[in-house]
Amino acid sequence: MTNSQVTRRRLLGTGAALGAAGLLAACGQAQMAGDAAPMAEEETSEDAQPETMEVVNLVYLSPESPARQEKEVAIFDDFNAENSDIQVEVVGQAGGWGGTYEKVMVSHAGGVPIDFVHNGWLIWDRMWQAGAIVDLTEFFKADKLVPEELFIESSLFEWVFDGVMGGMPISTSADAMAYNKDMFAEAGLEEPPVDVNAKWWNMETFLEYAQKLTNEEQFGFGGSLGGGNAAGETTGTYFGQGPWDDATRTAFIDSPGIIQGLEFWRDVTEVKYHVQPNPDESNELRGGQRMNVFVTGKIGMQVSYINQDTNFNWAVATLPYNGEGPSMSARISNHGLQMGNAETQDATWTVFTWFMSPENAGRFPRTAGHVVSPFQDPAYSEVSQAEFRNQLGIDPKAFVLQAQHTQPHGWGLYKYSAWEEVTALARPRYRQEYQLGQLDTREYATWFQDVITTIMDDYFASRG
């Protein structure tokens, strides 16, 4: 640690971890004491020198991306302007989320831990076991902050494990339905609703629409049924069935709801209805460019984030659903800020508390392309929604409505490192055999169920 990198505790000469209010109070008391102290008689004005304030320099790490870092730098520039004794440097890491994770672990092992990091890959149990991150529980308690009163339940679900709070929720990736208004108008179809309780907007209507929107030049559906659907675990959510019960640690891949979902989403491909382009057809629509196929203007509906301007009219609706109650189709994913096991923890916590206001935290979701905040107060999400509306002229309300009812990715499976082993086995078979019609649905579901059960049972047994 350099001389300029000191802990908040050392900077203020106090032994307690302080929040933002405590830090300001301590600074104020120190200044008053300095004003009141008389100068020694032998000290002249020429000898007196202003006290130099030591600055805590923090490194914030996130995946390398010009668009992401531009927004992050703007946010942390504001923090730096308000906190002259703490300065945050934004560092982009090559290799996406995987590269960012590796950088955190390698830096920790090398004795130069990262101060804090944006975690969008979710899995963090290995980071905790290695000592690369710290438990935030005591920081919240010290400042009399109650996470359950601040954040939506699903976000805490992903960031609390065995009583350890491994990160602070900061941004929510939610799925909703983007649709091409021009194609809908030309086909004479009623537009999908922005209403998670609209029962007419179900899987039968979705398939009917997808068929009517498909012809020789275009497709009714683009192919994404939920962010990160690794091996079919997301399919049953459209029929009210999740893949996992975290309380009992039980998988439900071989249940009727997921079997129905697996067959439905395979049928929309060329296996049966062909309302979805295959990879070659998608590449042809893109014209060799790297973009979301929806942006080509030749796709009627797509479950994904669209953060690009287009040359056609489009909008965002909630997702079709065949289960009971409000739509809980697809998934949400709650990104978090994690504190490294460095000597700068108190200063890093000051950054975290700075993000506990709508005007600061509400800006963060747009750095990741999101429009939903994990804070319960709707004022936080409105900040990101307003920016999205101003940028694209599209109302993103459906993302927020969907996030209020949808379950975390994999219904809990994605926060365990064992899930990586599951997907390594299941993803190839799902994509290269099942989706191409080479496996019976029940055969695949039974096999996938056994894979999850065996690997997860071994994982939990190893933890004791």
- Encoding tokens for residue 347? 């200063």
From 458, 345, 398, select the one nearest 6 (Cα to Cα). Answer: 345
Domain assignment of residue 207, yes or no: yes
Give the pLDDT confidence score for residue 342 in this predicted structure: 97
Give the pLDDT confidence score for residue 59 in this predicted structure: 98
CATH, residue 145: 3.40.190.10
From 263, 297, 298, 256, select the one nearest 277 (Cα to Cα). Answer: 298
Asked if 307 and 431 sit in the same domain, the reply is yes
Give the pLDDT confidence score for residue 375 in this predicted structure: 97
Give the pLDDT confidence score for residue 50 in this predicted structure: 53
Give the pLDDT confidence score for residue 457 in this predicted structure: 97
Asked if 280 and 233 sit in the same domain, the reply is yes
Asked if 246 and 327 sit in the same domain, the reply is yes
Task: Report the chain's mean pLDDT, rounded to a whole number.
Answer: 89
Domain assignment of residue 448, yes or no: yes
Given a cut of 90, is residue 9 above it in pLDDT?
A: no
Give the pLDDT confidence score for residue 410 in this predicted structure: 93
Given a cut of 80, is residue 130 above it in pLDDT?
A: yes
Give the pLDDT confidence score for residue 20 in this predicted structure: 35
Confidence of residue 10 (pLDDT cuts 50, 70, 90): very low
Give the pLDDT confidence score for residue 51 in this predicted structure: 60
Give the pLDDT confidence score for residue 336 in this predicted structure: 98
Q: Kindly give, in sequence order, each residue whose CB lies less than 8 Å from that of residue 425, ignoring residues fewer than 6 positions away.
A: 451, 455
Share of the chain above pLDDT 90, in %: 84
Q: What is the C-alpha to C-alpha distance for residues 7 and 193, in angstroms, rounded to an integer?
A: 52
44-54 average pLDDT score = 57
From 326, 372, 408, select the one nearest 154 (Cα to Cα). Answer: 408
What total of structural domains would you count in the chain?
2
pLDDT in tens, 431-440: 999 999 999 9
pLDDT in tens, 290-317: 889 999 999 999 998 778 889 999 999 9
Given a cut of 50, is residue 56 above it in pLDDT?
A: yes
Asked if 131 and 265 sit in the same domain, the reply is no
Asked if 153 and 228 sit in the same domain, the reply is no
203-216 average pLDDT score = 98
Share of the chain above pLDDT 70, in %: 89
Asked if 196 and 222 sit in the same domain, the reply is yes
Domain end point (choices 371, 390, 409): 390
Confidence of residue 288 (pLDDT cuts 50, 70, 90): confident
Given a cut of 80, is residue 446 above it in pLDDT?
A: yes
Confidence of residue 86 (pLDDT cuts 50, 70, 90): very high
Asked if 209 and 307 sit in the same domain, the reply is yes
pLDDT in tens, 14-28: 333 333 333 333 333
Given a cut of 50, is residue 141 above it in pLDDT?
A: yes
Domain assignment of residue 294, yes or no: yes
pLDDT in tens, 395-429: 999 999 999 999 999 999 999 999 999 999 999 99
Domain assignment of residue 22, yes or no: no
Q: What is the C-alpha to C-alpha distance for residues 365 and 71, in angstroms, rounded to an integer?
A: 10
In this structure, the number of other CB atoms found within 10 A of the CB of residue 283 comes to 13
Domain assignment of residue 92, yes or no: yes
Asked if 376 and 242 sit in the same domain, the reply is no
Confidence of residue 227 (pLDDT cuts 50, 70, 90): confident
Q: What is the DSSP string of 20-70?
A: HHHHHHHHHHHHHHHHHSPPPTT--TTT--PPPPP-EEEEEEEE--HHHHH
Domain assignment of residue 8, yes or no: no
Tell me the pTM. Answer: 0.86
Domain end point (choices 375, 390, 405): 390
Q: Kindly give, in sequence order, each residue whose CB lies less than 8 Å from that of residue 310, ignoring residues fewer than 6 positions away.
A: 295, 297
From 5, 2, 3, select the one nearest 346 (Cα to Cα). Answer: 5
Given a cut of 70, is residue 164 above it in pLDDT?
A: yes
Give the pLDDT confidence score for residue 7 in this predicted structure: 37
Domain assignment of residue 241, yes or no: yes
Give the pLDDT confidence score for residue 228 in this predicted structure: 81
Angstrom distances, CA of residue 233 to CA of 206, 251, 452: 20, 10, 11
Asked if 257 and 132 sit in the same domain, the reply is no
Asked if 286 and 367 sit in the same domain, the reply is no
* Structural domain span for residue 259: 185-332+421-463
Higher-pLDDT residue of 42, 343 = 343
Asked if 224 and 343 sit in the same domain, the reply is no
Between helix 256-266 and helix 441-463 the angle, nearest 10°, is 120
Domain assignment of residue 143, yes or no: yes
From 413, 406, 407, select the one nearest 451 (Cα to Cα). Answer: 413
Asked if 196 and 314 sit in the same domain, the reply is yes
